[in-house]
Amino acid sequence: MNTFRIKLILVIIYLIAPLFSEGQLSKNWFNEDPDKDRFAGVSSDNAYENLLKDMKSVPIVVAVIDGGTDVNHPDLKSKIWVNPKEVAGNGIDDDKNGYIDDIHGWSFIGGPKDDIKGENLEMVRIFRKLDPVFKGKTKKQISKNELNDFKLYDEIKVKMEVALKDANSGLKVYSSLKKQMDDLKQAIGKDTFTEADVLAIESEDEEFNNTKNGIAEALKNGVSYDIMYQEVMAGYNQFYSQVNYHLNPEFSPRAIVGDNEANQNEKYYGNNNVIGPEADHGTHVAGIIGAVRNNEIGMNGVADNVHLMILRVVPDGDERDKDVANAIRYAVDNGAKSN
């Protein structure tokens, strides 16, 4: 195992983790004014206080085209768009727009029984298409008409091999670090612990002791174990997705949707599960746009009088042009003014 890389990760976590600790950053920084406040935000608070206070607000529908959004989030649920022409749960396309029970929007990466979470990168999808044609062939065996595709195939193959090698290496390092942190917590036997608790755990494993000492030093300086673990899990999840989804040509989840991938004109597919299996990023984006202002829950959205139409097209991997185009079309056809 690359002990140096583990030490480097611990040093980085030690340096950046305090920035994400509770109270270190304003939850409202992006609304703040660079001249008046600590952070260079978009000055929306200043606009509400000084420019818009006597103006009549006009509601706007904004489409959040992302990976899924938690429509039940306490800071968002009152701002989620509701299709006024659709009856929830009756299994009928009441408004005749081609989408059944699209109460809050639509997911173009879901199907009748499941929802896509992980996906390939676009280059991997291209590789999978070309591999049956060019696998094992040399340039001399390729016709003139196929040369461009063969060159593309060859370039992608090299890129994939390099990227997959790096991803496997990263996953190995983060898996080891995750295991060491899990083992350490299990050995301590409690959820909350101190520097002394960590240092009291004895081991003959040099790598484990290096990790232990790094964690103890961070705890000593006020970095919580949970923050450190979150950072490690972020790295672990990133490399896990790269190895198992993004760069894995054997993985192809599109059958879940049940559409014809090659038909770019196909519009009516997907499902109404706009939350999806992973809604963190879309919820974050929706919150920036329109989280309820001044309700003492989470942050304040930029737009006060907004209805958030949710369109799910982005998996853990690369989205497809077809899905994005259909989401934009849905948004415009159903009243969104921005996307």
| Gap between the Cα atoms of 171 and 82, Å rounded | 42
Give yes or no for residue 8 having a pLDDT over 90: no
The mean pLDDT value for 64-93 works out to 97
What are the φ and ψ backbone dihedral angles of 336, each rounded to 5 degrees?
-70, 145
pLDDT digits (tens, 9 = 90+) for 160-181: 999 999 999 999 999 999 999 9
Give yes or no for residue 159 having a pLDDT over 60: yes
Tell me if the pTM is above 0.85. Answer: yes
| Gap between the Cα atoms of 18 and 25, Å rounded | 10
pLDDT digits (tens, 9 = 90+) for 98-114: 999 999 999 999 999 99
Q: Residue 339: its pLDDT value, please?
A: 45
Q: Residue 38: its pLDDT value, please?
A: 75
Where is pLDDT greater, at 36 or 21? 36
Can you read off the two tokens belonging to residue 317? 């991997």
Determine the distance from the C-alpha atom of residue 67 to the mean position of all C-alpha atoms in its chain, rounded to a whole number: 7
Give yes or no for residue 333 having a pLDDT over 90: yes
- Read off the pLDDT band of 206 (50, 70, 90): confident
Q: Residue 218: its pLDDT value, please?
A: 86
Q: Check if the beta carbon of residue 121 is closer than 8 Å to that of residue 317.
A: yes
Q: Check if the beta carbon of residue 184 is closer than 8 Å to that of residue 212.
A: yes
Domains of the chain, earliest start first: 3-20+121-246 (no CATH), 58-119+253-339 (3.40.50.200)
Give yes or no for residue 71 having a pLDDT over 50: yes
Q: Residue 242: its pLDDT value, please?
A: 98
Can you read off the two tokens belonging to residue 81? 């768009």
pLDDT digits (tens, 9 = 90+) for 249-270: 999 999 999 999 999 999 999 9
Q: Residue 2: its pLDDT value, please?
A: 57
Q: Residue 256: its pLDDT value, please?
A: 98
Q: Residue 23: its pLDDT value, please?
A: 47
Give yes or no for residue 15 having a pLDDT over 70: no
The mean pLDDT value for 55-68 works out to 94
Q: Considering just the CA atoms, what is the radius of gyration of the chain in Å?
A: 25
Give yes or no for residue 42 having a pLDDT over 70: yes
Within 10 angstroms of residue 55's Cβ, the number of other Cβ atoms is 8
Give yes or no for residue 22 having a pLDDT over 50: no
Assign 61 to helix, strand or coil. Answer: strand
Determine the distance from the C-alpha atom of residue 216 to the mean position of all C-alpha atoms in its chain, rounded to a whole number: 31
Cβ partners under 8 Å of residue 59, min gap 6: 305, 306, 307
pLDDT digits (tens, 9 = 90+) for 217-241: 888 888 889 988 998 999 999 999 9
